[in-house]
Structure 1
Amino acid sequence: MPDILIRPATLDDAAAMCAIYNPYVASTTISFEEQPVAPGDMAGRIAGVHEAGLPWLVACDGDRLLGYAYATKWRARPAYRTSVESSVYLDAGASGRGLGAALYRALLDALRTRGVHMVIGGIAQPNARSVALHEKLGFRKVAHFSEVGRKFGRWVDVGYWELRLA
């Protein structure tokens, strides 16, 4: 993917991220949010990730943002400081070209440089494409919680995959 640039996210990317993310909110159980996210709120999330010293990356084709990936703290207690939860979202038209894997690899590389030990991916079930992506990158399934979310009037399971970086 020679024309794709993967770079750190800026607050100016927030509106484009919302355009990618909000369809997941509105029509899937991939995200457990139930209301669209406003650009100001997304900018606050980006700032919070950066303040925590964690990466938030975007993939761009010229001026067009095609996807993003970021990590957040796994838990608040200090002993969890070397574990993170990862998230990757792609524009619907950008899937199936290897962009998700390229973006995720860049995120994992950025996490390694920050001394992160464990990356955890939570995946609402079913989601075969996300499971395949995580397993392609070396994640292994370690947990499955039944009916822990409820969206669109139905129960949703969540599985957890982990990848040890160091």
Structure 2
Amino acid sequence: MSLTIRPVEPRDHAALAEIFSHYVRHTTVSLSAVEKDAAAMAAYFEGRAALGRGSFVAEEGGEVLGYATYDQFRPNDGYRHTMEHTIMLTAAAAGRGAGRALMQALEDHARAAGQHVLVGAITADNASSIAFHEAMGFEITGRMPQVGRKFDQWHDLVLMQKLL
């Protein structure tokens, strides 16, 4: 079977909510403690689409393997060409090229939309994500010690960026 990258559709919202909620429940990939259901994911992706932001799904054989999206890094107009992205995959998708394909789709979309920079904000203990971003041409541009809290521990945040 071949990997397909396509825009997020309403039929994906439940699967995407489960992917996100898995990370909320079990990891520090997301420092959020709030899970999302299909309706919350629908609002999340519809809001981004209304702003012209890209949101994509990786799918293989009808199975959703993950998603990627981006939105403005900070809210004021001085950052209107700097986007922060999110990529989340199922455990089964790891090492199968879905992350790379999703990142390429995001970069292509952001570049075509006139964006200049993609930013990744990664929990410092997520070594595989940091290595993935480095392999995709991102550079570490900052580290913010103990800015997040989850599972009764403080977590550092690593900021990475790539010029488009």
For the aligned pair, the TM-score class normalised by the smaller chain equals over 0.9
* CA distance in structure 1 between the partners assigned to 2:151 and 2:75 by the alignment: 30
Look up the match of 2:83: 84
Partner of 2:68: 69
1:12-161 equivalent positions in 2, closer than 5 A:
12-161=11-160
Number of residue pairs the alignment of both structures matches: 164
Q: CA deviation at 1:108?
A: 0.7
- Name the SS of the counterpart of 1:37 in structure 2: coil
SS in 2 for 1:120: strand
Q: Distance in 1 between matches of 2:109 and 2:88?
A: 17
2-structure distance, mates of 1:63, 1:102: 17
- Give the unaligned 5+ runs of structure 2: none
**2:104 maps to amino acid:** R
Deviation at 1:16, TM superposition (A): 0.7
User: C-alpha distance in 2, partners of 1:82/1:161?
Assistant: 16
**Alpha-carbon contact 1:20-1:92 (below 8 Å) kept:** no
- Which segments of structure 1 move beyond 2 Å, counting only runs of 4 or more? none
Deviation at 1:62, TM superposition (A): 2.7
Root mean square deviation, CA, Å: 1.0
> Within 1, Cα distance between the matches of 2:95 and 2:3?
14
Q: Is the 8 A contact 2:18 2:37 kept in 1?
A: no
State the shift of 1:35 in Å.
2.3
1:99 and 1:63 map into 2 onto residues whose CA distance is: 14
What do residues 32-86 of structure 1 show as CA deviations (whole Å, max 9, x unaligned)? Answer: 1112211100110000110111100001113211110000111111121111001
Partner AA of 2:84 in structure 1: E
1:144 deviates by 0.2
CA distance in 1, matches of 2:132, 2:112: 22
**TM-score in terms of structure 2 length:** 0.97
Q: Which amino acid aligns with 1:80?
A: Y
Structure 1: 5+ residue runs without aligned partners?
none
Amino acid at match of 1:42: M
Q: Which amino acid aligns with 2:42?
A: A
Secondary structure of the residue aligned to 2:52 is coil
Give the letter for the 1:153 counterpart: D
Q: TM-score, normalised by structure 1?
A: 0.96
1:101: how far off? 1.1
Matched-pair identity in % = 37
